[in-house]
Structure 1
Amino acid sequence: MVSENRLPIQYSCYHTRSREGEQFVPEHALGYILSGAMELNNGRQSFTFTEGDIYFFSRNQLAKFVKYPPEGKEFRSLSIYFEQDTLRNFSVETGCKMDQHVIAPPFKNLSGGRVLTDFMKSLLAYEHLFKQGKMEDLLRVKQKEALLVLLQIDPDLKNILFDFSEPGKIDLEAYMNKNYHFNVELKRFAYLTGRSLSTFKRDFEKVFHMSPSRWLLQRRLQEAYYLLKEKKRTVSDVYLDLGFEDLSHFSFVFKKQYGVAPSLIQ
């Protein structure tokens, strides 16, 4: 869902309900909902943010985003991203460092504070320039200001923002059984389980006795059958929730596996 080559401040708008593509966020982000609502789900918790809400999103998270425009209008949001190089430079410049390791929450609601809300609103004055890709130097200044404001209102964020450690090696079987439904590349799963891609593939076959791609397809289809048959979910919701990028591909592989189209499951 996130491009790694982007401007540090971005605006987005959608006229219809939107689910984005790859569901991996590599960098910390600060978001402000201008209109509509957005549901975030990391597979264990679900959060909904509405107009006026501000949230902090921790890096290296898998999450699904669903954006809902208000009736007759468009969903609009403003996001500020904090790349690791930017944070390292800020840490050197200001002397602000992590003083203890903490488990970062996937999402943190920062709504309600006037200082942060007023700062986010002030960025709307530059929206037309930022959308044109102009004034990147100003973008960087505003990004730094955002960090200063965040640390002023929530000093403990330094233990999240300035933790530059990478994911350690974790239990592969448990992790994949929790996160198989996320639509991310294998290199993301490898990274988040603390492995190189080659080591991930090798360890995966030792644990599951098949390739990651084949296992992911079979596991997603099994869950799809269960949701359609037992939970009476709609086909359109199921294929998106389970990481299939389009309905035609889902219908094809489902029928190949079970001999019947998913729409006919009763």
Structure 2
Amino acid sequence: MTDLNEKASRAFTYSCYHSRNRSGEQFIPEHVFSYQIAGTLTVQDGNQTWTFREGDFRLVRRNHLLKFLKEPPVGGEFKSVSVFLDQKTLRNFSMEYNYKAEKSTNSEAIISLKSNPLFSNFLNSLGPYQTLNEPGNENLLNLKLREAILILLQTNPELQSVLFDFSVPGKIDLEAFMLQNFHFNVELKRFAYLTGRSLATFKRDFEKIFHLSPSRWLQQRRLQEAHYLIKEKGKAPSEVYLDLGFEDLSHFSFAFKKMFGVAPTKMLLA
């Protein structure tokens, strides 16, 4: 059993995992400035893969879907610290210092940051502030967040166009987006938001394109991909069901047999 010890406040998160790898997926609603203390973090967005090791810094951009794998070092623990830069804080900062986003050509989900003593000193200073979520600490919390923003801008001025871009996702090619992101297990309202649509418009546009409801199409598309991975690539059902957006192996096996007439384990042995 994985020993999980995660200490979080509204803006700062310390993660520590023992012994086993841990995988999962997330919708990223806010920018996240992170430091890899120990172990390895592998992240992919369906199009690109990033690997971060001890001593690496990164800025994860908001409004992205990501899958991750956290691997502790041999005989050690996976450790990281993250600072969440919420939109309210960034808006207030931009108004106070007159920062505005300029057009940026960088649309990657994660920006790797070169090591800098300012980063290390700041993140090391967060140790005593693990209880900033408690009442009465709001002013101190805001100061530490502003400090993080100032350091990021001083070391990487081009981040102005990332941090102060407050636009919402525009309407994009729904078919291309869904074919790339069908394996993410998120609510339909997230898919709708990321394609620049209301939930009702998303459902209407979706059925015009795919001639199925989103829920039915997602299950069929995930099962088709599972069939390919098991039959053609020789992968075990236990290896693929989580990666394809299924939460439970027994539910996956039941749906697979219903669609293809054979249990996934038997197809692997065929």
Q: TM-score, normalised by structure 2?
A: 0.90
| Maintained 8 Å contact 1:102/1:159 | no
| Maintained 8 Å contact 2:182/2:218 | yes
Q: Using the alignment, how far apart are the partners of 2:135 and 2:124 within structure 1?
A: 19
Counterpart in 1 of 2:90? 87
State which drifts further: 115-124 or 196-205: 115-124
Q: CA deviation at 1:240?
A: 1.3
Report the 3-state secondary structure (helix = DSSP H, G, I; strand = E; otherwise coil) of the residue aligned with 2:242: helix
- 1:178-197 correspondence runs (5 A): 178-197=180-199
Describe the superposition over 1:132-189 as per-residue Cα deviations: whole angstroms up to 9, x where unpaired.
Answer: 7883432222111000000000001000111111111111111111110111110010
Please say if 1:45 is aligned against 2:48. yes
Report the 3-state secondary structure (helix = DSSP H, G, I; strand = E; otherwise coil) of the residue aligned with 2:126: helix
Q: CA deviation at 1:111?
A: 3.5
- Alignment counterpart, residue 107 of structure 1, candidates 105, 110, 113: 110
Q: Using the alignment, how far apart are the partners of 2:81 and 2:135 within structure 1?
A: 15
Please say if 1:57 is aligned against 2:63. no
Please say if 1:74 is aligned against 2:104. no
| Maintained 8 Å contact 1:56/1:107 | yes
- 1:164-183 correspondence runs (5 A): 164-183=166-185
Counterpart in 2 of 1:36? 39
Specify whether residues 111 and 247 from structure 1 end up closer, same or farther in structure 2 by C-alpha distance, changes over 3 A only: farther
- Structure 2: which amino acid aligns with 1:70? P
- Structure 2: which amino acid aligns with 1:135? N
Specify whether residues 132 and 13 from structure 1 end up closer, same or farther in structure 2 by C-alpha distance, changes over 3 A only: farther
Q: Using the alignment, how far apart are the partners of 2:206 and 2:238 within structure 1?
A: 30
Q: CA deviation at 1:238?
A: 0.6
Q: Using the alignment, how far apart are the partners of 1:209 and 1:199 within structure 2?
A: 15
Q: Using the alignment, how far apart are the partners of 2:182 and 2:111 within structure 1?
A: 24
- 1:1-266 correspondence runs (5 A): 7-15=10-18, 16-21=20-25, 23-127=26-130, 129-130=131-132, 135-266=137-268
Specify whether residues 131 and 11 from structure 1 end up closer, same or farther in structure 2 by C-alpha distance, changes over 3 A only: farther
Q: TM-score, normalised by structure 1?
A: 0.92
State which drifts further: 167-176 or 192-201: 167-176
Report the 3-state secondary structure (helix = DSSP H, G, I; strand = E; otherwise coil) of the residue aligned with 1:86: helix
| Maintained 8 Å contact 2:31/2:62 | yes
Report the 3-state secondary structure (helix = DSSP H, G, I; strand = E; otherwise coil) of the residue aligned with 1:265: helix
| Maintained 8 Å contact 2:31/2:84 | yes
Q: Using the alignment, how far apart are the partners of 1:38 and 1:244 within structure 2?
A: 22
Quote the RMSD (CA, aligned, Å): 1.9
Q: Using the alignment, how far apart are the partners of 1:72 and 1:131 within structure 2?
A: 32
| Maintained 8 Å contact 1:181/1:220 | yes
Q: CA deviation at 1:248?
A: 1.7
| Maintained 8 Å contact 1:7/1:136 | no
Q: CA deviation at 1:205?
A: 0.6
Unaligned runs of 5+ in 2: 1-7
Q: CA deviation at 1:237?
A: 2.0
Q: CA deviation at 1:196?
A: 0.1
Aligned residues: 260
Q: CA deviation at 1:6?
A: 6.3
Report the 3-state secondary structure (helix = DSSP H, G, I; strand = E; otherwise coil) of the residue aligned with 1:20: strand
Describe the superposition over 1:215-255 as per-residue Cα deviations: whole angstroms up to 9, x where unpaired.
Answer: 00000000001001111122222111111112121112112
Q: Percent identity?
A: 54
Report the 3-state secondary structure (helix = DSSP H, G, I; strand = E; otherwise coil) of the residue aligned with 1:44: coil
